Structure 1
Amino acid sequence: MKKSYILTLAMSVASVASPAMADWFFRGTANAWDATAMTQVAANNYQTCQAFTGGDGGGGPRFKIDRLGNWSENYPASDYAVNANTSYQINFNSVTKAISATSVASCTGGGFSKVFPSLYFRGTPNSWGSTAMQLVANNTWQVQVYFDGQSNQRFKVDVLGDWTQNYGDNGANGSLEQSGADIFFSAQGDYLLTVNDQTKQYSLALQTCTNNCGTGVESLGAVYDSAGTTFSLWSPDSSSVALVLEGVTHNMTYANNAAGYTDVYQVRVDGDLHLAEYYFTVNGQRVRDPYGKMAVPQSDTNIVMDMSRTEPVGGWAARPALENREASVIYEVHMRDFTIHASSGVDPAKRGKYLGMVQAGTTHNGVKTGIDHLKELGVTHVQLLPVYDYATCDGLPDSDPCYNWGYDPRNYNVPEDRYSQTPTDYENRAREFKTLINELHKAGIRVVMDVVYNHTYSKEMFNAITGKYYTPTDLSGTGNSIDADVPMVSRMIQDSLEYWVDEYNIDGFRFDLIGIFSHAEVEKWGAYLNSKYADRNLLLYGEPWNGYAADPKEGQRVRYGTTRFMAQEHVGVFNGAYREAIKGNNDGTATGFMFNNVSAADNGWAIFDGLRASPYDANDSRNGTWFRNFTGDPEQSINYISAHDNFGLWDKVYLSLASNVVQNASHQVVSLTPPADLGYPKRVVNFGMGQIFTSQGIAFVHAGDEFLRTKTADEQMSLASAWNYGAHGGTHNSYNSPDSFNSIKWHNKSANAPTFNYFKSLIALRKTHAGLRMTSQADVAQYLSVARPGEFSGQVVTGYINYPSDSHNLFVVYNSGANVYVNLPAGNWTRVADADGATQVAGLSGSALAEGTAVTVFIQAR
């Protein structure tokens, strides 16, 4: 049990302003959608308490917040769903439009009274992030904080979590003053912070464990040192927790809450345990270590690791410089695809492996392959499809034909064994992956990991520990969605991210289905990583959708409509709206702007917006969950046409320009007549990617698009059967299709050299001109003038750029139709890019030719 020692502080009373009635109204099933005025409790904050019973004919219990009570402006875009037969204290911020609903005993006396709508702890213990405090009694807020005793340890409390109304202590006397001084606190340990929002008094209570206690928690999992290893596991539902180490059982005891960890059981075992095998049991049931750093292949047995013995030979090279995140050009690739084909030129033993990707000096048909190809192309980042330990394709040695993308996690912190040449040499398996990253860094290329924290392979992964790992509603479409709204689950994700950054020197993360997470949790991860690793310019981005699920927390999840809230934390999303405006649909033959289907691109306006990195405009009446203008910063728009999902770029273009195409309900191709001439399809590829490379935001390329890679079986594009694999998969969804579909055939690089040279030259152009990668939406608004000339009816979109950080002005023209002449801005111009890529035509003024189905770029020296 715990014993509290109260740190007594002097108290004083501060005045409290009387609440005023607001012009914001509650409307929902609780009041039959009538308009009930909310109470203003702070400058921009309003609240009401409502008792919900059941729903109505339109669905379950839910509500909206309505401006003026006339439906002229209301939030969120989709109704905010709550539980039946529950009372809620509802808070609304009229500036950010953030809504929270906290369950209370009742709204007629059982609900707690309060002055503040919310309260957050912010200080050095949480890297000045926003940790929500809980209302536990009338006007009484609490949060438990671990203070580690660092120098200048301090904190404040913040009403909204945005610093607009924060409190400190000017007199260091236990009395809070608005905008007061930081509260310094030199002690170490777990403390309960209590704040009274009416009297403005606060206290700190030391939380000390006196019975059945382990030591403080440094980190979960197995923390190694040469004298012993400390094993820790979160077990919120059971105290029957044990460690089985090399066949010997060690009972684990409850540990002091520390460093933000709660409900942890722990045991320390003496001795040098490097490479010792272990697992945990909960209620006698064997479970894996969610924090495990290494695992025995095809098992739930983990390995104790002294990670200092796994460093790359010669030590870590310097990280490649990155001027700003908008300068990134991302290259997405699957580890096996890249080198498994003999045409890669990689040594047979290294094909499809970590070290194969970075084998230097490989060629095919006289052109560079592998890592030298990446250097030649000019990309800044490689995004690796999952390389942590995943569940399918367990066969070792890697001699069977099993293939999988890896979106079925088993051990989040363990390098996948099938990509290692020595999967049971645990030190070397880790070293191989570190060597991959190190060699890419030496080549000037950063590394982004594709991470799948949204689900596990099955609930068997964690369910025996606690069901709290998983959401009540299946949000990922896999039956085992991870619930990051549970604090210790969110902390596991944050710890895993930090582990890859700290131990393996990873430079960023692509989140699979980041849309199942609440944006507030993602903001915490971003704020923490970017604070602790501020010099890294980490890339953080993901898919802002879920697995086609109805989500009761829709309004608080990562969506286009909430992306702008993550701008300060440098978190972006894939811009699917721009993608579809450019190309049409993903798995069929419907076309977009790059095929001269102007209407599919909203008569050119969607291209107009995408060129600007889709900036959010608070005054746009179309704003909502999925409106195409959503970013608070250009870096939040990941601009792309194709990725591993859906048809690849060349397959999409080829199929869309074929005739007599018939597809079944699973998108498989039943029949087609191939395009008669491939000249125009190749031009369409250049045109689409030219837009990606010249738009504001971050550019993204899927591996092989630069030389017209097809994922049809053995490249037999003219045969309908070659597009399909199994009942549902194949070219459009090749997650488990064999190497005949997925492997990169490097002969395409020389066969399609003009396409490769186009990609290469447009990437070089982007790197040369800062005007193509501006670093704020304010700069984009000021220095980029986008036009959609009326005489071309949306066929032509232009952008004039006069960015001060660039040595040249630029004029970019997207022309989806026939050749036209466009008016140049005043002065003399040089055409530097056209349908074929780099060119150099000087002395242009007045009007100039802009080729059809092409991006044309002109520059003007200042």
Structure 2
Amino acid sequence: MTDIAAPGPGLAHPLGATFDGEGTNFAVFSQHAQRMTLCLFSDDGLTETHRIDLPERDGDVWHGYLPGIRPGQLYGYRADGPYAPEEGHRFNANKLLIDPYAKRLTGHPVWHDALYGYRADHRDGDLSFDTRNSAPYMPKSVVEDPCFTWGSARRPNRPMEETILYEAHVKGLAQRHPAAGPKGGFLALASEPMLDYLTGLGITALELLPVHAFLDDRFLVDKGLSNYWGYQTLGFFAPDPRYLSQGRLWEFQHMVARLHAAGIEVILDVVYNHTGEGDETGPTLAFRGLDNRSYYRLADNPRYCINDTGTGNTMNLDHPMVLRMVMDSLRYWVEVMGVDGFRFDLGVTLGRTAAGFDPGAAFFDAVRQDPVLAGVKLIAEPWDIGPGGYQVGAFPPPFAEWNDKFRDDVRRFWRGDAGTAAELATRICGSAGQFDHSGRPATSSVNFITAHDGYTLTDVTSYVERHNEANGEGNRDGHGNNHSDNFGIEGPTDDPDIRGARLQRRRNMLATLLLSQGTPMLLAGDEFGNSQLGNNNAYCQDNEIGWLDWDSADADLTAFVRRLIAFRKAHPILRQKRFLHARERLVDGLEDLFWWREDGEEMTPDDWTDPDRRVCCAEMRMASGTPPYAQREDAIFLAFNSGPALTLTLPAPPAGFAWTRDIDTAAPEAPPERAGGTTTLSAHSVLVFVLEPLEDQDG
């Protein structure tokens, strides 16, 4: 065993392992521990070379300084204290623990009963005590110096109204791409072929499924599967090792720099609502062993975890040091790793107090006052499974929110469900009923048709029943009500009529997404027809089900999506911050929004409540109250038809103007064309017209 210098007192701040050029300061929080031991390991992680009690405690932070300890040193902690599950305490110094602030981990836990603080085979269950050393089965934390030379790359700092989100899985996006590489990690997303594709498509922000270090659940490993999506976090500062092809932090930073240079922002899907340790019967890997009672929300009987997340445990953000860890993590990923924003998984959980969800909860207040986070995008998933867990529209500014009402109502309208025209009208105008309060902009509604959780767009139009057999849960997992349609045949078919109708439906839904007020989010692969073979819960499918199938990409559909994105970017009416409420504009006295019937008459209350109405037509202008310095244009007319073909009468244009038909989902390659007073609105299609001066059209 190599001798090392005696530890000095060190500092209580910052938390984690901090290299200063001569040695490393170690600091870790535990309110209820009675001793904190730092464990050092050999370079291969197999031999525990030193155990050093941290010599100082300031409040609830244990700390010490070790000269000569440099980046690359492997370490972990052992926390000694009461093992009293009935009181919420589960200390067990036989268990090696990950540093919650570790910047890198060597790998993932290797499942073994020694990872548990209790004897799984004991009659007393989690009340028993296990004395086996878990270190051989645990990943090790790594001392890191995360400095990176960013060069000339600058953050795009793109306004939300100019944002087009593209949700993707790090590995799934590039694994089967014919040119991107190396496969499976951050560097693949930084490769020239991938950047060319993303910029060519026109997306402005890449929203990545979780990249924080996470574990593969034991029940999945036992079935030969893995936690593909990554919603079981173990380290809130460390990128998952499986995405580091060279095992270095700079790989993530390099990816961010390359994406920024291409004008693309990076948004991380983050999971601060729970950890991968599961409920009270789960393993002791980090937080549970460091201070179970502080890190987790516990029931009235503190032996048990509160489970508002459906994953077994819930983080206790009411505790100031747990909240501090989350805030430190967010700032780290912005300041050190360069990201541009976050999507908060199960965001309702982050705002839970003893009285339920509170938009003024400590987490929201902390985020809203933080100067570092003031300049990044914040997006909430506005639900969890706890009481009162559905809170779409209830989050405080500056949070945007995933809007599943948009998803469901758009799917239902295009499926032909009765009485859905009014709901569609609400959704294409930014869902003001949910979001137009507290000064929130229309961009607060993150609109999506599909996301990682559920069907792909191809499967929405190909399956009625979920097909999750590969998940090994008897096809009981995943959403049961998907508002989907198979056009008479379940799954793939060679029938040309059905294939054509499905493709038309996809174009219609993609057009609806990209023509609506709010912030559009496109699921990676939907633009070229990717399928998961009817699996609507592919969380454990790290294989061809979960990876994008680039070889089968529909180039024509991709070209149409590229055209839709370009059209949205070219027309500020489609991406406004202000809501449209049919209010008169000072600039010309015209209302900013008109609703028309297909015969050219204005919609009446009876029209809106007609269950058989299949047509929704909107004439949009820049919103009332738009400041004079904002980019302006005259008008756009949108017609959505989920029924049979009909004759459409356009609103009479003002003198010197005419309507130009720019997009027709029934003729996706048709060039723009001057429109007369009436035109044909094809069955099951979208038409888009732009009001333009005659001289522009003639010239």
- Bucket of the pairwise TM-score, normalised by the shorter protein: 0.7 to 0.9
Q: How far off its partner does 1:840 sit?
A: 4.2
Partner of 1:701: 522
Superposed CA deviations along residues 640-660 of structure 1, whole A, max 9, x for unmatched, are 0111111111111111499xx
Q: How far off its partner does 1:561 sit?
A: 4.8
Partner of 1:412: 236
Among 178, 181, 189, the alignment partner of 1:344 is 178
Partner of 2:635: 809
Partner of 2:556: 754
Q: Take 1:784 and 1:241, find their aligned partners in 2: how far apart are those partners?
A: 64
Partner of 1:717: none
Q: Take 1:700 and 1:801, find their aligned partners in 2: how far apart are those partners?
A: 22
SS at match of 1:607: helix
Partner of 2:192: 360
How well do the aligned residues superpose, as a CA RMSD in angstroms?
3.0
Asked if 1:303 corresponds to 2:142, the answer is yes
**Residue type of the partner of 1:307?**
P
Partner of 2:273: 454
Partner of 2:391: 559
Partner of 1:826: 653
Partner of 2:28: 233
**Residue type of the partner of 2:664?**
D
Superposed CA deviations along residues 201-234 of structure 1, whole A, max 9, x for unmatched, are xxxxxxxxxxxx9676432111221133222111
Please say which of residues 677-686 and 282-291 is displaced more in the overlay.
282-291
Q: How far off its partner does 1:798 sit?
A: 2.6
In 1, are the aligned partners of 2:39 and 2:76 still within 8 Å (CA)?
yes
SS at match of 1:644: coil
Asked if 1:386 corresponds to 2:386, the answer is no
1:512-551 matches, cutoff 5 A? 512-518=345-351, 519=359, 520-529=361-370, 531-532=371-372, 534=374, 536=375, 538-546=376-384, 548-549=385-386, 551=387
Q: Take 2:169 and 2:632, find their aligned partners in 1: how far apart are those partners?
A: 35
SS at match of 1:509: strand
Q: How far off its partner does 1:702 sit?
A: 0.6
Q: How far off its partner does 1:439 sit?
A: 1.3
Q: Take 1:770 and 1:522, find their aligned partners in 2: how far apart are those partners?
A: 34
**Residue type of the partner of 1:633?**
P
* Pair 1:641–1:521, CA change in 2 (3 A): farther
Q: How far off its partner does 1:694 sit?
A: 0.9
In 2, are the aligned partners of 1:608 and 1:788 still within 8 Å (CA)?
no
* Pair 1:469–1:668, CA change in 2 (3 A): closer
**Residue type of the partner of 2:105?**
A
SS at match of 2:245: coil
- Percent identical pairs in the alignment equals 25
Superposed CA deviations along residues 390-421 of structure 1, whole A, max 9, x for unmatched, are 11299xxxxx9856111111112111111222
TM-score by length of 2: 0.75
Q: How far off its partner does 1:759 sit?
A: 0.9
Q: How far off its partner does 1:453 sit?
A: 1.2
Superposed CA deviations along residues 406-448 of structure 1, whole A, max 9, x for unmatched, are 111111211111122223xxxxx21111111111112221111
Partner of 2:405: 577
In 1, are the aligned partners of 2:414 and 2:509 still within 8 Å (CA)?
yes
Q: Take 2:651 and 2:326, find their aligned partners in 1: how far apart are those partners?
A: 51
Q: Take 1:522 and 1:696, find their aligned partners in 2: how far apart are those partners?
A: 29
* Pair 1:497–1:378, CA change in 2 (3 A): same
SS at match of 2:459: helix
In 1, are the aligned partners of 2:210 and 2:229 still within 8 Å (CA)?
yes
Q: How far off its partner does 1:762 sit?
A: 0.8
1:255-266 matches, cutoff 5 A? 255-256=57-58, 263-266=60-63
In 2, are the aligned partners of 1:770 and 1:805 still within 8 Å (CA)?
yes
* Pair 1:445–1:408, CA change in 2 (3 A): same
SS at match of 2:37: strand
Q: Take 1:644 and 1:826, find their aligned partners in 2: how far apart are those partners?
A: 43
Asked if 1:593 corresponds to 2:413, the answer is yes
Q: Take 1:699 and 1:668, find their aligned partners in 2: how far apart are those partners?
A: 22
Partner of 2:459: 651
* Pair 1:235–1:786, CA change in 2 (3 A): farther
Among 239, 251, 268, the alignment partner of 2:53 is 251
In 2, are the aligned partners of 1:410 and 1:457 still within 8 Å (CA)?
yes
Partner of 1:678: 499
In 2, are the aligned partners of 1:233 and 1:266 still within 8 Å (CA)?
yes
Partner of 2:76: 279
* Pair 1:267–1:738, CA change in 2 (3 A): closer
Q: How far off its partner does 1:799 sit?
A: 2.5
* Pair 1:295–1:839, CA change in 2 (3 A): same
* Pair 1:668–1:326, CA change in 2 (3 A): closer
In 2, are the aligned partners of 1:385 and 1:406 still within 8 Å (CA)?
yes
* Pair 1:532–1:351, CA change in 2 (3 A): closer
Structure (1 or 2) with the larger CA radius of gyration: 1
Q: How far off its partner does 1:245 sit?
A: 3.7
Q: Structure 1: any 5+ residue segments left out of the alignment? A: 1-212, 257-261, 362-369, 395-399, 424-428, 584-591, 617-626, 713-722, 724-730
In 2, are the aligned partners of 1:224 and 1:306 still within 8 Å (CA)?
yes
Among 681, 684, 687, the alignment partner of 1:850 is 681
SS at match of 2:105: coil
SS at match of 2:362: helix
SS at match of 1:292: coil
Q: Take 1:226 and 1:841, find their aligned partners in 2: how far apart are those partners?
A: 63
Q: Take 2:689 and 2:390, find their aligned partners in 1: how far apart are those partners?
A: 38
In 2, are the aligned partners of 1:819 and 1:849 still within 8 Å (CA)?
yes
Partner of 1:422: 246
* Pair 1:300–1:855, CA change in 2 (3 A): same
Q: How far off its partner does 1:855 sit?
A: 2.3
Q: How far off its partner does 1:738 sit?
A: 4.1
In 2, are the aligned partners of 1:403 and 1:739 still within 8 Å (CA)?
no
In 2, are the aligned partners of 1:771 and 1:805 still within 8 Å (CA)?
no
Aligned length: 563
Partner of 2:164: 329
In 1, are the aligned partners of 2:217 and 2:227 still within 8 Å (CA)?
yes
* Pair 1:482–1:241, CA change in 2 (3 A): same
